[in-house]
Chains A and B, each alone.
Chain A
Amino acid sequence: MQFWFGFLVLFCGLSLHRIGPAFKRSNFGKPLILLGFVLIFLPYSELSSIEYDLFIFMADNLPWLFLSSSGTYFVLYGSQIYWENINSVKILGILLLLLSWVYFFAFISKSFDADLSLIIANLFGMLLAIIYLIWLIKFIESRTPKVAESLPLSDSEKKYVTSILKRNLGGNPDED
């Protein structure tokens, strides 16, 4: 029960994290993701065969996934926008990526012995569901009644917006 509750918390955390900073509940995203991982990887009781197989496979893959995702994060973090690179962080990221591949080929690749046709069938099922959901979203959005056109800005609103733009673009806010 704790194992599956951990997954529920993890998926809730991912969804909350994805809704962005405009919603204050997105702040709960990262703590929930962390809590989900703790609940999954610190099992409280004996796991049944389905959960045990999944747990073992995930635990085997965890170091590799951690190395690869942290390597990717460091390279992205080091390659900041406006071309200001942090080369030491980027090099660390590339080293982690390299290490993750070494770890994968040394320890993980041998355990990838399941029937690939079933894996592909499973991924195909996920793809079908995603296609259906995209169609559903498009269909519902196409049926959404259009909101009436908003009224033009009043004089005081125009003055306010102009002052904000001038302030941010370096103009004189007192002009006009």
Chain B
Amino acid sequence: MKIDDFLISIIDGSIFISLLFSIHLLCSYHPYHRIFPLIMGNISFLFLAIYINLFILKPNSSLSLILRESTSNSIISILYFYPFLFIFITFVIVKLFFRKRPEDPLLKLLD
């Protein structure tokens, strides 16, 4: 395991989130949204991440391959992480299942 693999993994995650944010910005556009500075900030971050990946860490790769690998690795990572997150969700849901109505002195006045 080389340090390069770690760096590539970190940048893959950043590229994925940046791509998702770009899609979200375009889909959720409305007239009261200052979208232009956000798009510029996000695109510069995305280009920086792609530049490091494409020209420094993986010089023999292509843009298409980098984008596909980033998305694929990130979705797999999320699926790996999901069971840990789901332990927490299960705990909250079970707590919700057993929750009882609290005593409310104001509601008692209605009876």
Query: Chain A residues in contact with chain B, CB under 8 A?
Result: 4, 7-8, 11-12, 15-16, 18-19, 23, 50-51, 53-54, 57-58, 61, 65, 68, 71-72, 75-76, 79, 83, 90, 93-94, 97, 101, 104, 109, 112, 114-119, 121-130, 132-133, 136-137, 140, 143-144
Contacts and interface: CB of A to CB of B under 8 A. Distances in A.
Contacts of A61: 79, 82
Contact of A126 (B17, B28, B86, B89): B17
Contacts of B71: 4, 7
B83 A104 contact: yes
**Shortest Cβ-Cβ A-B pairs, 8 listed:** A125-B13, A129-B17, A15-B27, A125-B10, A121-B9, A126-B13, A122-B77, A129-B14
Contacts of A58: 75, 79
B99 interface: yes
Among B9, B16, B23, B45, max chain A CB count under 10 A is at B9
B10 A122 contact: yes
Interface residues of B, number: 50
A119 B80 CA distance: 8
Nearest to A28: B27
B58 to A, nearest CB: 14
B27 A16 contact: yes
A118 B21 contact: no
Contact of B80 (A16, A79, A114, A140): A114
Given A58-B75, A119-B80, A137 B38 contact: yes
